[in-house]
Chain A
Amino acid sequence: MSRKRQIALLVGDNPFHGISHLSQQRSRARNKMIEKAEYDASLVLTAFQNGANGFMFSVSEKTLSILKSVNEGMLDQGLKDLELYAIAPYAYDYVRMATQSGGMTGLATQVAKSILKSANVKAMLMGVHGLVTMDPESILKAYLFYEIERIRSAAGKRTVLSSILLHEIVTEMILALDLDGLAHSFINFMLKRHMIPGFETRNFALLVRKFQNWGLEFKQIVIATPFNKAGFQMNPSKLDCEKALVKAPEANIIAMSVLAAGYLRPSEAVEYLNTLENLRGIVVGVSNEQHAHDTFRFLKESLG
């Protein structure tokens, strides 16, 4: 019997947005090379055919276009069951919107307009309730109704929307402000809709401590957080994050930044990841066909 662990391998979307956490210069170079959605979709499919199980992405117009192309490609190639892990809200879009529309009030107006335009009745009803009561739980639910519909209509039937993860900015706010009610409400909302509630964080040790205090069940949720040999974006320290991982053995952890934004070689990354007992998945971005093919082949063979 194989002793290999079952580790989900997910394609990340950072390169598709021209994001590099190693250097802005590289980010701009990527931006110049940003390909059409069809090409990005082909990279997702290549990765899928070489060992990836799913696609993790921030919800934006760009990634929704990629999803449409992924669905068409899967149909053409007779593929199915690519798992989708959506991160929402896409903070960059919303911060830019706030900047360009004059702040938080301008942002709220823009988002409300988008929900109205979508004609998503559930989102509108929940949104009206949220606005009248100023209840963050209702506002979050309205937003989730809106995003789920957007994702599903773009992704078609060849993929499975497995999880929606709250973007790190929302997760960190929940942690900082002790918004355990909002966390519970989000988890219940997602579970009722047969999706895995997820949290993206760069404060993993704090998250474990708070979630344990709040009585949240780790086995019900997925947590995407940086784990890498360089300790890059692991807060308050690499050691604290590793200790927290041991304290939450039932947690479904998806390791992000495993290559520390290109700072580490894949072999170094895997060597470290194999020392972590309870990782359930990893997410890695790819920027070309060869990269997609080689990276996921290598990860599939080397992890576990």
Chain B
Amino acid sequence: MSEELQMKKSSEKIRLAVIGIGKMGLLHTCILNVLPNANVIAVCDKSPIIRKMSSKIFRNMKFVDDVRNLEGLGLDAIYLTTPIPSHYPLAKTLYSNKIAANLFVEKTLASDYAKAKELCDLAAAANGISMVGYMKRFSVTFRKAKNLLDQGMLGDLTSFEAHAYSSDFAASNRGSGISAARGGVLSDLGSHVIDIALWFFGDLAVKSAKLRSTNKTGSEDSVMMKTEGTDGLIGNFDISWSKKEYRMPEFGLAIMGNKGNLAVNDDEVIFSSVEKSQKWYRHDLGDSVSFLLGDSEYCRENEEFISSVLVHRKCESDFNTASKVDLVIEQARDKGEFT
């Protein structure tokens, strides 16, 4: 930790508001409440029931029903944890009304690339810190894999396979009705593994995609797509929330290079080459955090945002970085064949 950050850390508290008290809003509010430099002072939710319930469990906070009512609270930063389709209008309102310069948005940044780019411009104009909640970048296993790749352990990369699976809708025939509200499997689940791939390999362009929906809403429930990197690296993605036996969502990549291969998921990293093979579990990679709720990644992600706001430095996964995920998703939907 830099001396500058150390000094700021000891004295300053960021004044925060959280918009949208669903699962993620609640999770972030709890973690932020424990972090020493964060102070959640307001909560915004359009549901009267959620506001009333929130008023009973969140102490010393203001509760509002509209983001415009956050004006004048002297907020340093805002967490936007509402459903994806509302990110763009809400973020635009926050920036336009100068309610806070620093903004954390749960993934994905927007529901299409044009809107994501517009939010990038607004963030730049506000001269604040921006971040999108791609928390897998803060997983110890994916970080280890990134380090190994950066060290050139695999030599020249030849191809990769990526997957994101869950059983969220494996047994449900209402899947796509709910999935439409959640932005479809590409945005909700696939965005994480797309972000990891962009982090590992740089820009990717979708060459082909097959999308499948289980009902009439047109929202995708599973996707297979092929991408190509700027250096010709070929990648194959398999994304579905209708897989059986995935009690928890799982993200993973198998990466092939001319000097070795790497397999990484939430639990382990395996490097193998002709000379040697090595495996690291989460246990080996220092997974403890200052406050564990959900996965350890969430705590690290929030610490990254708060410390970046404190010293005004670029965040891991800022709006510009995250907008590339929206671009890949848009390409997949545009080029994809629907079945």
Contacts and interface: CB of A to CB of B under 8 A. Distances in A.
A263 B268 CA distance: 12
Given A24-B265, A28-B246, A100-B172, A173 B53 contact: no
B59 A178 contact: yes
B4 interface: no
B74 interface: no
Contact of A175 (B34, B47, B52, B178): B34
Nearest to B60: A178
Contact of A23 (B49, B55, B267, B287): B267
Contacts of B246: 24, 28
Nearest to B47: A105
A238 B168 contact: no
B288 A236 contact: yes
A175 B292 CA distance: 11
A137 to B, nearest CB: 9
B174 interface: yes
B247 A172 contact: no
Contacts of B26: 173
Interface in B242-273: 245-248, 250, 265-268
A206 B288 CA distance: 13
B169 interface: yes
Interface residues of B, number: 45
B168 A100 contact: yes
A232 B34 contact: no
B324 to A, nearest CB: 27
Given A18-B247, A31-B247, A236-B288, A177 B47 contact: no
Given A19-B247, A22-B281, A135 B292 contact: no
Contacts of B56: 134-136
Nearest to A108: B49
Contact of A177 (B33, B174, B181): B33
Contact of A98 (B23, B55, B174): B23
A73 interface: no
Contact of A104 (B23, B30, B245, B296): B23
Nearest to B252: A24
Contacts of A260: 283
Interface in A154-180: 169, 172-173, 175-179
A172 B34 CA distance: 10
A181 to B, nearest CB: 10
A45 B178 CA distance: 42
A238 to B, nearest CB: 7
B186 interface: no
Nearest to B177: A102
A41 interface: no
Interface string B278-299: 0001110001111111001000
Contacts of B29: 176-177
Contacts of A235: 288-292, 296
A174 to B, nearest CB: 9
B288 A177 contact: no
B172 A263 contact: no
A196 B259 CA distance: 58
B22 interface: yes
Contact of A100 (B22, B169, B282, B287): B169
Contact of A99 (B59, B168, B267): B168
Contact of B58 (A19, A24, A177): A177
Contacts of A249: none
B283 A99 contact: no
Interface in A253-304: 260-261, 263
Contacts of B30: 172-173, 176-177
Contacts of A193: none
A95 interface: yes
Nearest to A31: B245
B315 interface: no
A204 to B, nearest CB: 10
Given A176-B31, A260-B283, 13 more contacts: A22-B281, A31-B245, A96-B168, A100-B172, A100-B178, A104-B21, A105-B50, A134-B56, A136-B53, A179-B57, A203-B291, A235-B290, A236-B289
Interface of A: 17-19, 22-25, 27-28, 31-32, 92, 95-96, 98-105, 134-136, 169, 172-173, 175-179, 202-203, 206, 230-238, 260-261, 263
14 contacts: A23-B265, A24-B265, A31-B245, A32-B245, A104-B21, A134-B56, A136-B56, A175-B34, A176-B29, A176-B30, A177-B57, A231-B283, A232-B283, A261-B283
